[in-house]
Structure 1
C-alpha cells in the first residue's frame, strides 16, 4: 500500500526518470491515457482523495476541481496550459504550474526544420517523386541566408530559435509586447507593432501562448499584410491561426507555404481543406516530442507537484496565474 500523496498522471507513458521520482516519494499513482476525457478524469479523482494532477491533454475544469476537494496542484506536462481552467483553480487555492523551458530546444528545432523544408519545397518534391515525376527544375527553392525571419513570442522557445538561427545569416527580428528590453537577444531587432513585423518578414514563426489576445491573431487581415510569397510556421498553439483564412491565402497564392504542428481542432477533420494544400507541412503536435525533451518535461512536472505538496516555492518561471 502506498503511503504517499495520490497523483493522477494523464499520460500513456511517463519518462522513467519521472516515474522514479514518484516511486521514491511513495506516491499512489493512478495513470490515465494521454487523451482521457474530462469525464474519465472526474471519475479518477473521485475514486480516492487526490492531491495532485499531472496533465497533458485532458481538460481540467471546475467540475474536476469540485470532484477533488483535496487537490492542491495541477502540473502541466508541457508549457501551454489552455486546457486548464486557471481562474477556477486560483479561486479554490489550487496551484497551477507548467514545465516552462523544458521542451524549448525541441520545439525550436522543429520550427527550424519546418522552415528549411518549406523554403526548399521538400514536401511537393517528395510527392512528385512518389508519383513518378522527376521535378528537378519545377521548384526553385531559396536559402535561409539573407531571408527575413519574424519571430512572434520570444520566450523560451523563441529565444532558443534565435540561437539556432544565428549561423544561417538570417535577418532576425521579434515581436513580443511582454518581453523586458534587457531580455531581447543581442543583435536582434524588435518590432513594437505586430503589423510591422508581418509586413517586413519573409517567414513568420509563432511561439506565443494562446490567450484572448492571441486567439486567431493570424486572421485574413494579418495574412494580407504579409508579403506575397512569404511563409508561415506555427509551432505554438493551433488557434493562433484562423485556418479558414490560411486556406484562402494558400489557395490564392499569396502565401508560398505554411507549416503547422498545431491545429484549431486536434486532430483536424479528415475532410479539412488544409489537406489539399500543396506546400504545407503537417506534424501532429510533436514539437516537444523528443526523448530528451519528454524526460526534462516529465521530471519538471513531477518536481513542480512536490514543490507545492512540500510547501516549497516552485520556480517562478513555472507558476501560472
Structure 2
C-alpha cells in the first residue's frame, strides 16, 4: 500500500527527498486556501507544515486518512491539537532543529539593545556622526533573567555565561540539580523581575504564561531593564510595554514575535529604543535544513515503522523500540477489546499491569493499546492517540502497575477492569516473544489465541456440553476454528473461548443461550 504525504508550506527540498528515499509518495502543494486544502487532504496519511498552513478542526474532519501532522519548527499554534487528538492524529514538531538559531537571535538582539545598533546604523548612514548620542552599556557583569530555561533558554544561558553575565531563571520545571548543572540560579518570578538588567523569554504560550510580562509585572522590574522576546507573541502586554518604554521604566525592548502576526502595524513601531524583527528566530539556512530533515525523518519513522518522536499528543516511541513493542501492543489491544466487549460500559477504572520482560519496556504504548481496544467498544475511530483522551473524557480512572518479578510466564500483560459489581481481570503473554496468547480469563486459567470472530461462553461444567455446543453451531452453519476451555473446578463454572469462521448473529446467540447450563454468551470481534 502506498503511503502519501503532502507538504503544504515552503520547505527545504531535502524533506521531499527523504520521503521519497523512504518509499513514501510526496506532493508539494503550497499556498492553498483552507477550502482547497480541505478538498484534497483525505488523499494523504501525512501532512508536513511550517507556520502558514492552519490545521483547523474543519481540515482535520476532512482528513479521513490522516495519521500524522509534522510541524517543521517548534510552535504548533497553527494546529488544533484537541481536534487532532480526538481524531487520533499524531501531531509532531521539531523542537531542537532551530534551537541554536533562536538562541543566537536572542543574544544578537541583546547586543543590539545594549549598543543601540539599529538607530546608530540609520543615523550614520544618514550622514550624521552622533557619536555622543549612542552611549551603550556592557553586558559583562550584568544579570540576565531567563523566563523559561528549557532547550533554547539553556543555550542562551550558556552563551550568556560565556559573556561573563550572571544568569537567574524562573521556570517551574527547572530542578535545583539542573540549575546547578547549567551554572545558573533558580529564582521566583518577582525576584527575577527585581534583579535582572536584561530579560529574555523562552517559554511556550499557555494560559499560565499569557501576558507573563503584564503591566503589573513590568512595573516590578529594575528601572531601565531591557527586554527580549524571541519565543511567542502574547507573552508580553504590548500596550504596557509601549507605556514602559515611553516612561523609561524599560530602557529598551526587542521583539521578534508579536501577539498578532504578521505585525503590519503596532503601537510599538517608531518608539525610541524599540527593535523589531519579523519572526526571524529560526531563519537561518542551517535551521531551515535541519527542521526539514527532522520532520521528514520523524514522519517517515511513524508512517513506516510506528516510531513516535517529539509528539505533542502521544508518548514518544523510538523506531528501535517499535518492533519490540509491536507484539506487546497487539496483545494489549486484544485484551482491551476482550474486556470492553465482555464487561461493557460499566467500567469505572482500568489497571494495566506488566510483569517480567514486559516491565522493562516503555509502558505508555502498552497502556495506549489497551485503551484503544477497550474504547473501541464505544467509538469506531479510536486508536492509540485518542484513546487516553477518550478515557479521560469518560472519567475513566487509568493506572499503570509494573512488576519487575517474573512469575509463571517470562512476560505478562494483565488488564483489570473495575465495575459496579467488582473487578474483572484478563491476562496474556507472548509465545516466542511474538505470538500473543490469552492465559487468564476472568479468574479462569485458559490458553487461547485471540483474533477474528469469537464466542465467549460461560456455562456450568457438565458432561456432554461441548458436544451440544458443537452441534448447535454446526446446525447454524458456523464452523469452529479453535476451541479453548477453562474451569475453576469440576462441575463448577467453565468458560469457553471459541474462534469461528464467519459472523455470529443474534439468532445464533439466542440458540446458544437456550442450551442447558449456559449462563452467558457474548459474540466478540478481536
- Secondary structure (helix, strand or coil) at the match of 2:227 reads strand
Change (3 A) 1:182 1:32: farther
Pick the aligned partner of 1:319 from 308, 311, 326. Answer: 311
Q: Does 1:187 align with 2:179?
A: no
Pairwise CA distance, 1:311:
4.0
| Structure 1 counterpart of 2:125 | 130
| Structure 1 counterpart of 2:13 | 16
In the superposition, the TM-score normalised over structure 1's length comes to 0.92
Measure the CA separation in 1 of the matches of 2:256 and 2:304. Answer: 36
Measure the CA separation in 1 of the matches of 2:96 and 2:220. Answer: 31
- Secondary structure (helix, strand or coil) at the match of 2:5 reads strand
- Secondary structure (helix, strand or coil) at the match of 2:268 reads helix
- Secondary structure (helix, strand or coil) at the match of 2:204 reads coil
Measure the CA separation in 2 of the matches of 1:40 and 1:283. Answer: 31
Measure the CA separation in 1 of the matches of 2:81 and 2:120. Answer: 45
Post-superposition Cα deviations, 1:201-224, rounded to whole Å, max 9, x if no partner, equal 111101111111111211211211
Measure the CA separation in 2 of the matches of 1:212 and 1:311. Answer: 35
Pairwise CA distance, 1:36:
4.7
Measure the CA separation in 2 of the matches of 1:109 and 1:40. Answer: 37
Whether the aligned pair in 2 keeps the contact of 1:146 and 1:169 (CA below 8 Å) is: yes
1:1-321 map, 5 Å: 4-12=2-10, 14-33=11-30, 36-46=32-42, 49-57=43-51, 58-184=53-179, 185-191=181-187, 193-270=188-265, 272-315=266-309, 318-321=310-313
Aligned length: 311
Pairwise CA distance, 1:16:
3.1
Bigger Rg over Cα: 2
Post-superposition Cα deviations, 1:122-154, rounded to whole Å, max 9, x if no partner, equal 122122223332110112211110111011111
Whether the aligned pair in 2 keeps the contact of 1:79 and 1:98 (CA below 8 Å) is: yes
Choose between structure 1 and 2 for higher RCO, CA contacts under 8 A separated by at least 6 residues.
Answer: 1
Post-superposition Cα deviations, 1:141-195, rounded to whole Å, max 9, x if no partner, equal 111101110111111111111122222110111111123443334321011x222
Measure the CA separation in 1 of the matches of 2:35 and 2:221. Answer: 43
User: Which structure 1 residue ranges, 5 or more long, are not aligned?
Assistant: none
Change (3 A) 1:299 1:66: same
Compare 123-132 and 81-90 and name the one that shifted more.
Answer: 123-132
Compare 3-12 and 163-172 and name the one that shifted more.
Answer: 3-12
Measure the CA separation in 2 of the matches of 1:38 and 1:213. Answer: 30
Post-superposition Cα deviations, 1:94-118, rounded to whole Å, max 9, x if no partner, equal 1111102111000000100100110
Whether the aligned pair in 2 keeps the contact of 1:123 and 1:279 (CA below 8 Å) is: no
Pairwise CA distance, 1:30:
2.8
Pairwise CA distance, 1:37:
4.3
Change (3 A) 1:66 1:224: same
Change (3 A) 1:146 1:37: farther
Post-superposition Cα deviations, 1:218-259, rounded to whole Å, max 9, x if no partner, equal 121121111111111000011111211111111122111111
User: Which structure 2 residue ranges, 5 or more long, are not aligned?
Assistant: 314-526
Whether the aligned pair in 2 keeps the contact of 1:123 and 1:280 (CA below 8 Å) is: no
- Secondary structure (helix, strand or coil) at the match of 1:259 reads strand
- Secondary structure (helix, strand or coil) at the match of 2:124 reads helix
Post-superposition Cα deviations, 1:18-59, rounded to whole Å, max 9, x if no partner, equal 2210121343323243x654334323414xx21111111222
Whether the aligned pair in 2 keeps the contact of 1:37 and 1:59 (CA below 8 Å) is: no
In the superposition, the TM-score normalised over structure 2's length comes to 0.57
